[in-house]
Structure 1
Amino acid sequence: MASYKKTYKHTLIAKKELKQVKKELSGNESSLNELYRLKNEISSIDKIIGGQTLNPEYVQQTLLDFISKNDFNVNIVDIEDVHLFSDSEFLIYSNQIELEGSYKDLTYTLYEIEKNFKNSRVISTQFYTKKNYRTNTKTLFLKIILQNYENNK
């Protein structure tokens, strides 16, 4: 009984602790694999939703260049200043542009911006008309809001 208390008891306790530590270490290895997978997933989502860290004025200028160089047969009516929103995790840049043209030209322009303009993502669009009371005609407009974000760390 004395030899059990002095030798075997401590050996069995050490063996039990070793088993528990090995179990925790295997959990850490799977955690590292999970962390690596999540980082890759975040990076692919950033590419999809426009998470690049580009200068917001540069994005606005490239949008204007994209529209004017591709000859979309639309008129740029208004472009708002870059709107900035910040919270604890992200810094969000919003660009708003207003276009005038026919329905076909406006939808084609919107399609091309969504498909080929990679510096920012289209978040919202709105078609609306304004009536000119002098000529008694309606003009079609398209308001597009584009956003991109960056980590606020």
Structure 2
Amino acid sequence: MASYKKTFKHTLSARKELNSVNEKLFNNENSLEDLYNLNNDISNLNKTIGGQTSNPEVVQQKLLDFISKNNYNVNIVSIEDVHLFSDNEFLIYSNQIELEGTFSNLINILYEIEKHFKNSRVVSTQLYSKKNYRTNTKNLFLKIILQNYENTK
């Protein structure tokens, strides 16, 4: 009993403390690896969400160039001014464009914008028709809202 109190007790407590320190060290190494993985995930999400830009008017011009260079027989009806929204971390730029054309042409241009226009991402679309009472015909329209953002931190 005396030898237990003198030597083994201290050895066992030192062993427990060593195990505890080793576990904390292992958790710290894992947290550095987790931090690296999270940073990679954030940069991948930044690319997926819509790229960072400092000039939203350039994105609007590139969108117009993209639509006009591809011959889809659609008419650009309107382009809204760039809408800005900010919160604590991001400044979000929203562009809205309205196109007129046939169903197949509007769907084709929407597909091309989603797949190949990398400066901004499509967040909302709306197909609707309006009746033209002068010509007694219905015209089909496509409203597209695109967004990109800037990290303010």
Fold in common (TM above 0.5): yes
Alpha-carbon separation, structure 1, partners of 2:93 and 2:28: 37
Alpha-carbon separation, structure 2, partners of 1:95 and 1:137: 29
Once the two structures are superposed, what CA deviation does each residue of 1:38-73 show, in whole Å capped at 9, x if it has no partner?
A: 111121122122132342111111000100111221
The answer for unaligned runs of 5 or more in structure 1 is none
Equivalent position of 1:123 in the other structure: 123
Equivalent position of 2:105 in the other structure: 105
Report the number of matched residues.
Answer: 153
Q: Name the aligned partner's letter for residue 91 of structure 1.
A: L
Could you state the TM-score of these two structures normalised by the residue count of structure 2?
0.88
Q: Name the aligned partner's letter for residue 18 of structure 1.
A: L
Equivalent position of 1:32 in the other structure: 32
Cα RMSD (Å): 2.1
SS across alignment from 2:20: helix
How far the C-alpha of 1:81 sits from its partner, in A, is: 0.6
Aligned 8 A contact 2:51 2:119 in 1: no
How far the C-alpha of 1:99 sits from its partner, in A, is: 0.4
Alpha-carbon separation, structure 2, partners of 1:56 and 1:17: 57
SS across alignment from 1:71: coil
5 Å-filtered alignment, 1:1-153, equals: 13-153=13-153
The answer for unaligned runs of 5 or more in structure 2 is none
SS across alignment from 1:126: strand
SS across alignment from 1:41: helix
Alpha-carbon separation, structure 2, partners of 1:117 and 1:26: 44
Could you state the TM-score of these two structures normalised by the residue count of structure 1?
0.88
How far the C-alpha of 1:15 sits from its partner, in A, is: 4.8
